[in-house]
Chain A
Amino acid sequence: MEGNPVLKVENLVVRFYTYEGVVKAIEKVSFFLREGEVLGIVGETGCGKSVTALSVMRLTPHPGRIENGEVYIKTDDGLVNILEKDEKYLEKIRGRYISIVFQEPGAALNPLYKIGDQIAEVLLIHRRLNYYKRALKVIEDKIWRENSSFKRRILSMQRKVCKMLIENPNSTLASILLKLPLISGLKKLIEQEVREDVIMILRDMGLPDPERVYNMYPHELSGGMKQRAVIAMALACNPKIMIADEPTTNLDVTIQAQILQLIKDLREKLGSSIIYITHDLGVIAELCDRVAVMYAGNICEVANVYEIFKNPLHPYTKALLESIPRPGRPFKSIPGTIPNLINPPPGCRFHPRCKYAMDKCRREVPRLIKVGEDHYVACHLVRG
């Protein structure tokens, strides 16, 4: 039924401990992500879309806390519950198996470093050993071809340090040795190798003149280019899962079309699974395979994208679809406002705004039930 999930979230509960009270931001959210699919998460501001995404990466912002639940991520050692792991392990997971692209590319990039160096950092964290090995190969090649015995001696010294690094990447002695004048050639060699990779990635992102972009600072790039650079950073290590948190919200429609096309192309090429968070139903229709609709910290409907648009079952999904302005049709909106999550309404959290609300809705929290092939709804009105 779930195919082959690369990500599985079960009963996730996230609360924020603020001065006004405990904000019940995410309440028992469960979903999964199949290999190679794009799962869209839609909902209004403050419904918990972004908190869900951040919690999946264990990046829940302060004063939030993950209270309960399991988040399984597929790694080379099979499914791993990352909520049980320590920070050191998470460092290995983030960027390599799962990565995130934020809404505001300007805030995601460090203004003091060159674009290229920021992407190189990701590669160096996860693939350092690879680069040492590549550098070793190059040095050994050079030794063979070198005629002057003096230079050969320097190169063999570099080889020794390189081997030291491969044995123990964190060795202090090696890192001190790297700074010595004669051996620093090795450092340059490694940097050159990384640089080539970064430029290749930048080229894949459709950035014009990647050699020049490598040496640019974030403020020199336009919004669309910055977002491409951030996507490059997220995909540098070919993670299996990418979370995109409203990556095109602040961009113009024409640039949005470019970025969406890029995401589509990259998905084909790299076969990554994507969680795409947005409030724009148009983007959802364009990009996603499956959609999860969120309201006030709950998932209220999950279905295939065709099913959501053709046959929405939850009253909130229906209302959301009707609120899209269409010419020649009166404007429809959802009455009321999003509830305060410090004191959420009892029962179904949507009941105060729902025109079909019954007594049962005020008392009991509806569970997500299966109503059809790949279609789940949490509403008392719908029976499985």
Chain B
Amino acid sequence: MGKTWTLYKRELGEFFNSPIAYIAIVVFLVLAGFIASWRIFSAEAPRAELRPFLELMPLIMVFLAPALAMRLLAEEKSSGTMELLITMPVTDWQVVLGKYLAALTVLGLAILFTLPIPIAMAAMGDLDWGVTAGGYIGLFLMGACYLSIGLMTSSWAGHQVIAFIVSIAICLPFFLLGHEWVTGMLPDGLRPWLQGIFGLGHHFKNISKGILDSRDVIYYLSIGAACLLLATQSLESRKWR
């Protein structure tokens, strides 16, 4: 665990030594603020409610998480430092976990920075704190899940831009296929099946209603763990004969 911690600290430092974390967080916050406030100043029915914010954040997460995850392994590969890192006495799993946790920390910070939004809403109107807490937990779980997908593609790609695009290409269908925009067009029999498997957004919906169902949590955790394992495997593949 000691080494994972060392790797974690270095990786976190790397995030804040480069502009990526700042840019990603700022863009995220601007979008979040915009989504949250557009109803407030609406001419006909000004309302302070968090619902549109919680509905659209998952979509923004589809872009934020890959942006944070893209450089994790791809950059080490393209700059050659992977060779340095991996010939030190660390396991591939420690490398993956340290990096993942660092990115997760940044993601968590980004989400925390949006807290002024519900606080302001609460000042302006009625805010259901249960739904808000559920929404935040769901957002974090979902982001963690996307992040692991991003890390996995970063372990495949030789360049971070490729990692970014590929992970969006994976995350976006995961989000859309479970979303009612798509499931609404499908026959009833297919819907629960699609939502259950691909429905990263669908599972979010449950949680954001304030219902913390173990099925949803387990869904996120298992996808996250599977992607991290695949990333580790991909690192190990250099040793396959």
Are A and B interaction partners?
no
**A interface residues with partner B (beta carbon < 8 Å):** none
**B interface residues with partner A (beta carbon < 8 Å):** none
